[in-house]
Amino acid sequence: MDIPIKDENDGADKDGTKYLWLSSANKRMGVTSGSPVHFAGNPSAGAVYVTEGALKGDIAHCLMNRSFVCVAGANNLSQLDPVFSALAYNGTKIIVEAYDMDKYNNEMVAKGAEKIYVMARKYNMESKRLTWNPAYKGVDDWQLSLKNKLILN
């Protein structure tokens, strides 16, 4: 959403919800959305990047020509395990954690990033951390800035 929804109890530091998942969990016999995982790229790539947010991953995939697994949030990892299993089966050797740069000052994001390394090791995949200029929050912002510099020069 262009204008995120904020709960009345959200503090000033909360941005609000930008993405809504279809769910009936609050209904009798309802179901959750199940923390969906989004994938962009080649499912047999040797290296696959993991980031937060489908749109962010799609943009980064287009700008970098790399494969991206995108989780709904830093700790929404319940569906990542079967994805890593399939990637390992397909020949992926390296998982590159590309969470937002707030992983260095947001404990919850840092914990989510750490879980990626543990899960990659479970499937005998090497894991690496991608970092960039912290003036750019996400991998998509960073790559867009690089592309814009090339265009301006």
Q: Who's near 37: CB < 8 A, 6+ residues apart?
A: 69, 70, 71, 72, 79, 80, 83
pTM: 0.84
Sign of the torsion angle spanned by Cα atoms 96, 97, 100, 103? negative
So where are the chain's domains?
Answer: 37-152
Which residue stretches of the chain have pLDDT < 70? 152-153
Q: What is the pLDDT of residues 50-82, one digit of tens each?
A: 999 999 999 999 999 999 999 998 998 999 999
- Percent of the chain residues past pLDDT 90, beyond the cut: 69
Q: Does domain 37-152 have CATH number 3.40.190?
A: no
